[in-house]
Chains A and B, each alone.
Chain A
């Protein structure tokens, strides 16, 4: 039997949670002994190769591409984990949720004080994923088994969560590993 497969992705996030995963320091050597990485920015594999045991999702859903990737992860991952505040509550990107989308576009591409846009057009190329009306937490789009809060979750939180799942323990974080900042 092969090693458990882990996939990771960053949706509408800042890659800070992935940085926190790297912050497990030398334990990353044990991690590569324990698991095989499927799609992840860590190995630069762009597509899921098949069934995956654990999927780590950073960031919420801000556009249609985020939703598509999240749905693919849901389809292929046995256990899906929301990693970090953006995946759990939208995080900083969700600050736009209190502003109508049209106003966000106007500020970003037309009216903002630093905007240079002689064409006066809001970009609408079909290559650009359409923005959603607001930023959605992952568990409001697909079913998510576990949440690891934090901005980012500490390396210890990620390490504890992965180990608990790999050892077949239930994932219950101790007090000091549940933090929202």
Chain B
């Protein structure tokens, strides 16, 4: 196929379709680039920067940067692992992430990335911010203590559910996810089976009355690091 693009990632030659991002091309080639705000089926957002790679020496977010011929991409380097660790550390200390009683523990992408990076404690002091919990909806709740502002619920609600239930309000440290009703989530047309609920990488947006159904030891990230399904898919071929 003549229109395939050829590039290298960590010294390995891979191919990409025109228009594919570095992250997508890498995934197809069995190379996992860590990510949080990116999700298959949603538009790219480029906000978490966890997928930052070096492209011809320059830092770029792999989820937004299209693959181009001859690109030299660095992904799994000491420098980038440390950068990603810092980002994950900051997400932990700027929220209130109590994994020990969180229903999402073992299935949480933020926690799973920390596991994959071998983080035993964040390197920054904890902030313990005041955040709100909205349990007004009969089927789902929003716990902003666990929100990392990835915007996956915002995009999933717009792009997949066609509902516009969630949106960002505020700036900087005051930024948060708001819902499309003054009375809270219960006043919106959100439903428990919405893609927006499933899109949350942490325990910030959860379905009620289904927590802790999967026993410890059988959860998604109990034995296999996040991303290993992508790496294994390649090695089995």
Main secondary structure of the interface of A (DSSP, over half): mixed
Give A159-181 as 1s and 0s: 1 = Cβ < 8 Å from B's Cβ atoms: 00000000000001101101111
Residues of A within 8 A of B122 (CB): 89
Q: Given the interface contacts A89-B126, A94-B128, A175-B225, does A181 sit within 8 Å of B120 by beta carbon?
A: no
Determine if B105 and A98 form an interchain contact, defined as CB atoms under 8 angstroms apart.
no
Closest approach, in angstroms, between the C-beta of B124 and any C-beta of chain A?
10
Give A129-141 as 1s and 0s: 1 = Cβ < 8 Å from B's Cβ atoms: 0000010010110
Alpha-carbon distance between A120 and B222 when the two chains are bound, in angstroms: 49
Determine if B118 and A91 form an interchain contact, defined as CB atoms under 8 angstroms apart.
no
Interface size on A, residues (CB 8 A): 28
B111 at the binding interface (Cβ < 8 Å): yes
Considering only residues 54-106 of chain B, those with a C-beta below 8 Å from chain A are 92, 96-102, 105-106
Closest approach, in angstroms, between the C-beta of A138 and any C-beta of chain B?
9
Residues of A within 8 A of B96 (CB): 98
Determine if A149 and B121 form an interchain contact, defined as CB atoms under 8 angstroms apart.
yes
Determine if A151 and B100 form an interchain contact, defined as CB atoms under 8 angstroms apart.
yes
Considering only residues 68-97 of chain A, those with a C-beta below 8 Å from chain B are 82, 85, 88-92, 94-95, 97
A39 at the binding interface (Cβ < 8 Å): no
Alpha-carbon distance between A34 and B114 when the two chains are bound, in angstroms: 33
Closest approach, in angstroms, between the C-beta of B97 and any C-beta of chain A?
8
CB nearest neighbor in B for A175: B225
* 18 extra A-B contacts, CB within 8 A, seeds A89-B121, A173-B120: A89-B122, A90-B128, A91-B100, A92-B100, A94-B128, A95-B98, A98-B96, A146-B120, A151-B99, A175-B118, A175-B223, A178-B118, A179-B115, A180-B99, A180-B100, A180-B111, A181-B105, A181-B216
A contact set with B: CB distance below 8 Å: 82, 85, 88-92, 94-95, 97-98, 134, 137, 139-140, 146-149, 151, 172-173, 175-176, 178-181
